Amino acid sequence: MGRRTVLDYDRYRGAIVEQTDAFADLLAGRDTTTPVPSCPGWTVGQLARHVGYGHRWATEAVRGRGKPRTDRAMRELSQYVDEDPGELAHWLREGARELDAALGEAGPNVQVWTPVPGGRRTPEFFARRFAHETLVHRVDAVLALGERIVLAPDLAADAADEWFALVESTWPRYLAEEHRALHGPDRTLHFHATDEHAEWVVDLTGETFVWRHAHEKCAVAVRGPLQELLLLLYRRRPVEEAEVEVLGDAGLLVAWLEVSAFG
């Protein structure tokens, strides 16, 4: 059976700071105008600004308990050109620590606004979301700067869990026609980590998007290291470049990845 990893609130809070620090460390002495291939149109500096503004936005949501405003600077990243990497790294770390402090003050169980339907509307949503948001964008920076990717297995497995859950929650609201076209008999996908006890099945045989931790025979199976599966799910690597083995209906995999997102 597949692995279900449940991480606690403090692990998520710690991951936000750890992943941000790792991102900030990458910036030292680097050219912040380096393009980020996995985030087309952005530079490494703009990517850092996106992450830092996200942290500040989440801090406002946790502290204000309502929907935060969207700062104009969050949308217009093009204004950030050739920034000093040291100053940018300091600003990035500062935002992560502000979010960590807000999460610590609020605790995991108070009621807050969250941007997706369903689930518990508590600060735990923001702790988990921004742990993985920061992790994935650190990976974007690592890919852009040609460094080696190393992910903690517990975070990578939980990031995949969260990805499937968010896709499930938003599936009816995005690309409805494209989604309906993927449903039908034998429309199942199996993702199997070869280096960790982690597996997922996506089941599109009914009218809704269903996923579960399971080991089942499916129309297409994808096998590979956990972090490669995560990069594939987040579309940070195309199927043909990912270090995975695809067995069965590769066309279904490609078609499903093209329309699987949560925002």
Q: For position 216, which CATH number holds?
A: 3.30.1050.10
Q: What percent of the chain has pLDDT over 90?
A: 81
Residues 47, 141 contacting (CB under 8 angstroms): yes
Same-domain check for residues 98 and 185: no
Residue type, 99: L
Final residue before a domain boundary, out of 94, 127, 150: 150
Neighbours of 111 (CB within 10 A): 10
21-49 burial, b if ≥16 CB within 10 A, otherwise e?
bebbebbeebebeeebebbeebbbbbbbb
pTM exceeds cut of 0.85: yes
What total number of domains does the chain contain? Answer: 2
Instruction: Answer whether residue 216 is part of any domain.
Output: yes
Residue 263's pLDDT band (cuts 50, 70, 90): low
* Residue-wise pLDDT tens digits, 27-44: 999 999 999 999 999 999
Rounded to the nearest 10 degrees, the angle between the axes of helix 44-64 and helix 123-145 is 170
Cα angle vertex 236, ends 234, 239, to 5°? 95
pLDDT in tens, 169-180: 888 777 788 889
pLDDT of residue 174: 72
Structural domain including 223 reads 155-258
SS3 letters across 104-142: HHHCCCCCCCCCCCCCCCCHHHHHHHHHHHHHHHHHHHH
Residue 242 lies in a domain: yes
Residues 186 and 95 in one domain: no
Is residue 126 located within the same domain as residue 32?
Answer: yes
Q: 111 and 189: one domain?
A: no
Instruction: Give the chain's mean pLDDT.
Output: 93
Residue 249 within any structural domain of the chain: yes
